[in-house]
Amino acid sequence: MAKIIVVTSGKGGVGKTTTSAAIGTGLALKGHKTVIVDFDIGLRNLDLIMGCERRVVFDFVNVINGEANLKQALIKDKRLENLFILPASQTRDKDALHKEGVERVLNELSDEFDFIICDSPAGIESGAMMALYFADEAIVVTNPEVSSVRDSDRILGMLSSKSRRAEQGLPGIKEHLLLTRYNPERVQKGEMLSVDDVNDILAIKLLGVIPESQAVLNASNSGQPVILDADSDAGQAYLDTVSRLLGEDVPFRFLNVEKKGLFKRIFGG
C-alpha cells in the first residue's frame, strides 16, 4: 500500500510543482519506489520540471478514460531506477477528472509504489479537490506572505472537511507546512513574514523551509529537479525536508541572513 501525499496550496505559483518534483525525486533517491502524478490538467508542468516532456505519449486522463493503461502512460525517470511520472493532459480541462476514475488509478498505483505524490493545481475547485481527496498526508506549500498564508489556511480547512478521510470519519490527513521562497533578508527588513509568524497563524507542523534561490530557476530550465543539485541551498533544503518526511530529526537551515565573509564585504556580492 502506497502512502498518498498531496502537494497543495490554494494560491497559485507558490512552488507546488517544484516541490512535487523535488520531494518525489528525493524519496526515490532514498530508495522508495515513487510516482509523481500531475493533477494540473490543462496546465501540464511537471513533465517540464522533470525533463521528460518529450516522452509524454499517454496521460492521466487517457488512463481514466480507458484509452491507455497505466503501463503505457507512466514515464520512467532516466536518472533514477524507482521514479515514475504520470503526466497530466494538456488538451483537456480540469473536469476530465472524476472521483471514481481517480480512485481506480490511485488504487492501481498503490499496489506497486511506496509513495504517490499528487501535484495539485492551484485554487479550491474540483481539480484541487480531486488531488487532495484520497490523500493520507498533505504538504501545504506556503510563501511567507499574507495572501499565501490565508489560502493555505483555507486549504487546511478543506483537508479537514472535504477529504475521503474526513467524509469516512477516518483519522485525519497528516498536515505538513512547507515554507518556500523564503528570503531571510527580506524577513529581517520586515518585508516578509517570518517562519514564526507563519507557524503562529497556521499552527501545523513545519516540514521544511526552502530558501528563495536561483538554483530553482536553473533547475527548471534544465529539466532537473533542484534536489539533484546537492550543492545548492534549495537542493539541500529539499533533502532535509525529505529526511523529515521520512521521520528523521534534522535541524532547520537557511533561516537566517548569511553573514558575509570579509571578501564579500569588500567586493560585494
Ligand X SMILES: Nc1ncnc2c1ncn2[C@@H]1O[C@H](COP(=O)(O)OP(=O)(O)OP(=O)(O)O)[C@@H](O)[C@H]1O
Binding stretches for other proteins (CB under 8 A): 124, 150-151, 153-154, 156-158, 160-161, 200-201, 203
**Residues in a beta bridge with 140:** 8, 177
- Residues forming the site for ligand X (CB under 6 A): 9, 12-18, 40, 45, 121-122, 180-181, 210, 212-213, 216-217, 220, 234
Written as nine digits, the cell of 146 is 499574507
**18 versus 152: smaller Cβ distance to ligand X:** 18
133 vs 130: CA distance, rounded Å = 5
Closest distance to ligand X from the beta carbon of 220 (Å): 5
Closest distance to other proteins from the beta carbon of 110 (Å): 28
Lookup result for grid cell 529539499: 238
Buried b (16+ CB within 10 A) or exposed e, 37-65: bbbbbbbbbbbebbbbbeebebbbbbbbe
Assess contact for 61 and 98: CB atoms under 8 A: no
**8 versus 82: smaller Cβ distance to Mg ion:** 8
44 binds Mg ion (CB under 5 A): no
**91 versus 107: smaller Cβ distance to ligand X:** 91
Lookup result for grid cell 521544511: 208
Is residue 211 within a helix (H) or strand (E), and if so which, with residue range? Answer: strand 205-211
Closest distance to ligand X from the beta carbon of 234 (Å): 5
Closest distance to Mg ion from the beta carbon of 45 (Å): 5
Residue among 70, 125, 122, 117 at smallest CA distance from 97: 125
216 touches which of ligand X, other proteins, Mg ion, none (CB within 5 to 8 A by kind)?
Answer: ligand X
Rule CB under 5 A: which residues touch Mg ion?
16-17, 45
